[in-house]
């Protein structure tokens, strides 16, 4: 009997030793603040690193490694050394995260190219997307590159000129597309700045809207705001959808064929405190005949609350004429607070976009605690959506095709790629709100990969878009042939 017990224990130990190692996550956070040819970003940029690092330190399971380079990286060689030191132990099941916050510089040539600027106050170097890919590609497993920089979307080939950006994308071959294990999240499109704080009166200084929304989305203040399905996890797809609504001033771009399966580290409890947290919003797409936004938040301590509404007019946010008002005339007591904000003077034919910002008011000024993109859709009798895309796709896996869905008014649109049998190959958006852009269009890109990251076989595919305008369900399709150069189709409403 005793021998049998020893044998069972030995077999159990062998089974334990044979189990595969659990997947691990590592992160490298880099901020460049001092430059020679560009304005310094100041010491407040360190706040970005502080927020994101605090969030990651509260994750469970804990990170296998967290490295911070604050103002120390001025050359590609220094960046390569930091990347090597941080991710040398990564294996094929791991996730390696690089957050890089710096200046984004558009090329002086009109070629829709952009560069990141490395700088430590003594040396300064441009960094191209090709060089970034070269340094990250040897890392085993999944790589998530988060670029917090002006014009950062241009590094994905999503051109700077809105009039021809989507045509230009057809000929741009981003180096990041070569690897299905590479995922890139940017703070802005190619034509947008990432720095919108009007610093006067604000405690937050140069901390970017993007970094703030990213951190709160991953649970920095206790509530995991990007957990859209309530499972206490945040996928890369969920984070991007959260950022699309939580950062109204710039359009976060995502390149990832497996965003729905990449699970990000999220804090399992509050890591930092602020007077207002735990924001939850109802539908951000409002009907013109019922323009009311419902939302709630928690006051962790007594504070006054200020709201600011900014309208999007003539292709830009009208900061000058923003409407500012207080939440009553007294401080709010600690606890959960429910609010409804009804937009004034909205008629049934009105439509457009607004930005809501919510501040805590303290002795030292204002602290921005949350913001939201709000869209107002008009009451339409017979809405029609148009879905357009190139008729052929000749280089899946190394380039992207641009896709545009437009209904002429703000809306939430779902776009799916279907195969010849009508089976879903890839979902490109799930109820994604259109953004302030030309013709209220939703611009998407497909790299020719399925939801598992594999390049789809040659054949006929259908792009299917769906939205609801009021109580009307609206659909549109466009046919597409993936091949080595044989295709013909046209978009159809």
**Residue 61: is the preceding peptide bond cis (ω within 30°)?**
yes
Give 247-272 pLDDT, tens digit per residue: 998 899 999 999 999 999 999 999 99
Q: What is the pTM of this model?
A: 0.89
Residues 6+ apart with CB under 8 A from 246: 213, 216, 217, 225, 370, 371, 372, 373
Architecture of domain 276-377: Sandwich (2.60)
Give 1-22 pLDDT, tens digit per residue: 333 333 333 333 344 444 456 8
pLDDT at 114: 81
At 326, is the pLDDT very low, low, confident or very high (cuts 50, 70, 90)? Answer: very high
Three-state DSSP at 17 gives helix
Q: Which CATH class is domain 386-492?
A: mainly beta
Q: DSSP string of 401-434?
A: EEEEEE-SS--EEEEEEE-TTS-EEEEEEEEEEP
pLDDT at 487: 37
Secondary structure letter of residue 28 according to DSSP: E
User: At which residue do the structure tokens 């930091």 appear?
Assistant: 82
At 112, is the pLDDT very low, low, confident or very high (cuts 50, 70, 90)? Answer: low
User: At which residue do the structure tokens 């040396």 appear?
Assistant: 123
The winner for highest mean pLDDT among 96-105, 361-370, 379-388 is 96-105
Residue, of 10 and 325, whose pLDDT is higher: 325
Span 396-418, average pLDDT: 90
Span 57-84, average pLDDT: 96
Chain-wide mean pLDDT for the chain? Answer: 86
Q: Which of 186, 328, 315 is nearest to 256 (CA)?
A: 186
Residue, of 204 and 355, whose pLDDT is higher: 355
Residues 6+ apart with CB under 8 A from 345: none
- Please say if the pLDDT value at position 428 is more than 80: yes
- Alpha-carbon separation of residue 450 from 356, 403, 423 (angstroms): 36, 16, 11
Same fold, 21-264 and 386-492: no
pLDDT at 439: 66
Span 224-253, average pLDDT: 93
Domains in the chain: boundaries: 21-264, 276-377, 386-492
Residues 6+ apart with CB under 8 A from 394: 483, 484, 485, 487
The CATH number corresponding to 21-264 among 3.40.50.300, 3.40.50.1460, 2.60.40.10, 1.10.3720.10 equals 3.40.50.1460
pLDDT at 407: 84
Distance CA 158, CA 104 (A): 14
User: At which residue do the structure tokens 């735990």 appear?
Assistant: 278
């Amino acid at each position: 009997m005793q021998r049998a017990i020893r044998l069972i224990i030995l077999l159990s130990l062998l089974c334990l030793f044979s189990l595969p190692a659990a997947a691990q996550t590592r992160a490298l956070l880099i901020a460049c603040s001092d430059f020679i040819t560009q304005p310094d970003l100041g010491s407040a940029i360190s706040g970005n690193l502080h927020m994101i690092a605090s969030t990651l330190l509260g994750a469970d399971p804990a990170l296998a490694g967290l490295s911070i380079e604050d103002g120390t990286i001025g050359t590609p060689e220094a960046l390569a050394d930091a990347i090597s030191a941080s991710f040398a132990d990564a294996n094929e099941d791991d996730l390696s995260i690089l957050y890089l916050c710096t200046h984004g510089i558009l090329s002086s040539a009109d070629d829709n190219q952009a560069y990141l600027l490395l700088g430590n106050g003594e040396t300064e170097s441009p960094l191209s997307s090709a060089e970034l890919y070269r340094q990250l590609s040897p890392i085993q497993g999944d790589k998530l590159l988060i670029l917090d920089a002006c014009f950062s979307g241009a590094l994905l080939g999503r051109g700077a000129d809105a009039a021809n950006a989507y045509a230009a994308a057809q000929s741009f071959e981003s180096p990041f597309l070569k690897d299905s294990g590479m995922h890139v999240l940017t703070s802005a499109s190619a034509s947008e700045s990432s720095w919108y704080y009007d610093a006067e009166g604000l405690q937050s200084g140069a901390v970017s809207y993007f970094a703030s929304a990213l951190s709160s989305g991953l649970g920095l203040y206790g509530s995991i705001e990007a957990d859209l399905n309530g499972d206490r996890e945040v996928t890369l797809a969920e984070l991007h959808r959260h950022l699309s609504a939580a950062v109204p001033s710039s359009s976060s771009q995502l390149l990832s064929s497996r965003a729905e399966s990449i699970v990000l580290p999220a804090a399992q409890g509050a890591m930092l405190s602020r007077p207002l947290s735990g924001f939850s919003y109802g539908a951000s797409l409002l009907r013109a005949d019922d323009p009311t936004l419902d939302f709630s938040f928690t006051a962790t301590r007594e504070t006054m609350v200020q709201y600011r509404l900014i309208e999007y007019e003539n292709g830009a946010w009208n900061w000058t004429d923003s409407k500012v008002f207080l939440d009553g005339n007294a401080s709010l007591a600690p606890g959960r607070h429910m609010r409804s904000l009804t937009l004034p003077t909205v008629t049934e034919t009105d439509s457009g976009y607004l930005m809501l910002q919510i501040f805590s008011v303290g002795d030292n000024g204002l602290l921005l605690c949350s913001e939201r993109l709000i869209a107002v859709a008009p009451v339409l009798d017979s809405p029609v959506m148009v879905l357009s895309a190139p008729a052929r796709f000749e280089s899946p896996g190394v380039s992207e095709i641009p896709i545009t869905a437009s209904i002429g008014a703000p809306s939430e649109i779902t776009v799916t790629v279907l195969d010849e049998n009508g089976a879903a190959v890839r979902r490109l958006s799930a109820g994604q709100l259109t953004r302030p852009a030309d013709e209220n269009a939703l611009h998407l890109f497909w790299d020719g990969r399925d939801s598992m990251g594999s390049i789809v076989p040659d054949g006929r595919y259908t792009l299917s878009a769906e939205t609801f305008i009021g109580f009307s369900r609206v659909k549109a399709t466009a046919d597409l042939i993936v091949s080595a150069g044989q295709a013909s189709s046209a978009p159809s409403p």
